[in-house]
A and B are shown apart, each in its own frame.
Chain A
Amino acid sequence: MSEKELNTEDELNDLKSLWKNQPDEKSYDSTEIFKMIHRKSINSVQWLFIITFIEFLIGLVMSLWTIFGNNFYSQDRIQTVGPEVYEKLVSLSQFGLIGSLVIFGITFYFYRKISSAMAVHDLMKNIIKFRMSVFAFIFIWILGMLILFVPLMIEMGINTYINNNLNQGKTLEEVQNIAKSVGYIFAGITVFSFLLFSAIYYGIIYGIFLRRLGRNLKELKKIEN
Chain B
Amino acid sequence: MKSKETEFTHLIESNQGIVHKVCRIYTDTPEAHEDLFQEIVLQLWRSFDSFKGDSKFSTWMYRVGLNTAITLIRKKNRTIPTTSIDSQPYFDVKANEVDEEQEEKLRLLYSAIKKLNDVERALVLLYLEDLPYKEIASTLGISQVNARVKMSRAKDKLKELMKIES
Contact = CB atoms under 8 A, between A and B. Distances in A.
A37 B60 CA distance: 17
Given A15-B105, A16-B128, A37-B5, A120 B166 contact: no
A118 B67 contact: yes
Chain A interface size, under 10 / 10 to 19 / 20 to 34 / 35 or more? 35 or more
A36 B120 CA distance: 29
A222 interface: yes
Interface residues of B, number: 67
Interface string B111-138: 0000001111010000111100000001
Interface string A55-69: 000000000000000
A120 B47 contact: no
A119 B138 contact: yes
A6 B9 contact: no
Contact of B71 (A6, A15, A30, A219): A219
Interface string A1-21: 111001100001001101111
B41 A33 contact: yes
B13 A28 contact: yes
A24 B20 contact: yes
Contact of A22 (B47, B106, B162): B106
A15 B13 contact: no
Interface of A: 1-3, 6-7, 12, 15-16, 18-30, 33-34, 36-37, 39, 41, 43-45, 115-124, 127, 212, 215-216, 219, 222-223
